[in-house]
Amino acid sequence: MPELSHEPGGDTRSGFGSLLKRWRGARRLSQMDLAFRARISPRHMSFIETGRAAPGRSVVLQIADALEMPLRDRNALLEAAGYARLFSETHLDDADLGPVRRVLEFLLERHEPYSAIVLDRRWNVIMANAAHHALLPRLVPRASLEDPSLAGNLLRLLFDPKGLRPRVANWEEVAGTLIERLHRQSLGRPDRETEGLLDELLEYPDVPEAWRSPDLTRPMELLLPVHLETDDLELRLISTITVFGTPQDVTLEEIRLETFFPADADTERALRQLARSRGAP
């Protein structure tokens, strides 16, 4: 049975206990459930959460494993206990992630003539291929594209009436699916930025009241149909999201590649015609 260490330095116990309790609540676990999963005695778990004892570094990591915490939040839990971060957070432009960026650039380019984007954990678009950059002005007014807080965030762009919303024929299906994903992201990793974005989206006009609470019984589909319409263009697409497996860097864990595929022959022809019109091969 792992033993608890003496406090590693400074009065960190209160902050650690509060953070632990928040995560335990998000995972809907009792102290006993978490103690069993983390292979710690219930008495020790109670002492850790209430601040009567401080956990050793290995115990913090056992708890993080038991809570299935993302890497960013494992770092935060370690720091709350008075320890140094374990997992690096490297900017995507850093030389150390050069191979990763080149892989993403390769995937974006090879997905032409169909749109593909790379998203961070806040749903900001951090990379995109030429097809995406060419299609977006056909769907969104220029003034909205010049607003970086709107055009740079996929969810804001989807929910805002000045963005994509009027062009998505199956908006309730698409927006409902993504708001459910955001709900689960907020439950899975309780952080104020995700909660803030969720609150912001729910304040947009005509958002169904039912979307304010997650439906945890609803299965998450791997493929999301997206039907886009303008006066002179109709596209039926399928969206998929890819993530890195078993990453050891915070940035790699949080980025996602979203790719769009034509759902029918008419859409495929329209997208290839758009590519030829901009001189793409």
The span from the first CA to the last CA of the chain, in angstroms, equals 63
State whether residue 29 is helix, strand or coil.
Answer: coil
User: 206 and 154 share a domain?
Assistant: yes
The domain boundary residue, chosen from 80, 109, 132? 80
- Quick check: is 245 in a domain? yes
> What pLDDT, on the 0 to 100 scale, is given for residue 13?
53
- The per-residue pLDDT for 281 is 67
Q: Look at residue 190 in the predicted model and tell me its pLDDT.
A: 63
* Same domain flag for 107 and 170: yes
Whether 34 is covered by a domain: the verdict is: yes
Same domain membership, residue 249 and residue 212: yes
CA-based nearest residue to 144, from 121, 170, 164: 164
In this structure, are 67 and 134 located in the same domain? no
Residues 132 and 268 grouped into a single domain:
yes
User: CATH no. for residue 36?
Assistant: 1.10.260.40
In a shared domain, residues 199 and 245 = yes
Angstrom distance (rounded) from CA 30 to CA 21? 9
As beta bridge partners, residue 249 has: 88
Measured at the alpha carbon of residue 179, what is the angle toward residues 176 and 183, in degrees to the nearest 5? Answer: 135
- Omega before 113 cis (within 30°)? yes
Same domain, 199 and 229: yes
The answer to the question of residue 4 being in a domain is no
Asked if residue 162 lies in contact with residue 169, where contact means CB atoms within 8 angstroms, the answer is: no
Q: pLDDT tens for residues 166-195?
A: 999 999 999 999 999 888 887 766 677 888
Q: Is residue 134 part of a domain?
A: yes
Residues 58-71 have a mean pLDDT of: 91
Both 75 and 128 in one domain: the answer is no
Sign of the Cα torsion 220, 230, 139, 161 reads negative
> Domain for residue 86, yes or no?
no
pTM, to two decimals: 0.79
Distance CA 110, CA 160 (A): 30
Q: Two tokens at 115? A: 């749109």
The string of pLDDT tens digits covering residues 123-138 is 999 999 999 999 999 9
Query: Domain ends where: 80, 106, 137?
Result: 80
Rounded CA-CA distance 155/64 in Å is 29
Number of domains in the chain: 2
Same domain, 68 and 102: no
Its domain, for residue 34, covers: 13-80
Give the end of a domain, one of 80, 110, 134: 80
Residue 133 included in any domain: yes
Instruction: State whether 151 and 68 are in the same domain.
Output: no
100 & 236 share domain: yes
Residue 8 lies in a domain: no
Distance CA 235, CA 228 (A): 5
What are the respective helix, strand and coil percentages of the chain, to the nearest 5? 50, 15, 35
pLDDT digits (tens, 9 = 90+) for 210-266: 999 877 667 777 799 999 999 999 999 999 998 887 778 888 888 999 999 999 999
Length of the chain: 281
CATH number, domain with residue 221: 3.30.450.180
Q: Is residue 2 part of a domain?
A: no
Statement to judge: residues 138 and 198 lie in one domain: yes
Q: Could you tell me which residues come within 8 angstroms of residue 223 by beta carbon, excluding any fewer than 6 positions away?
A: 238, 239, 240
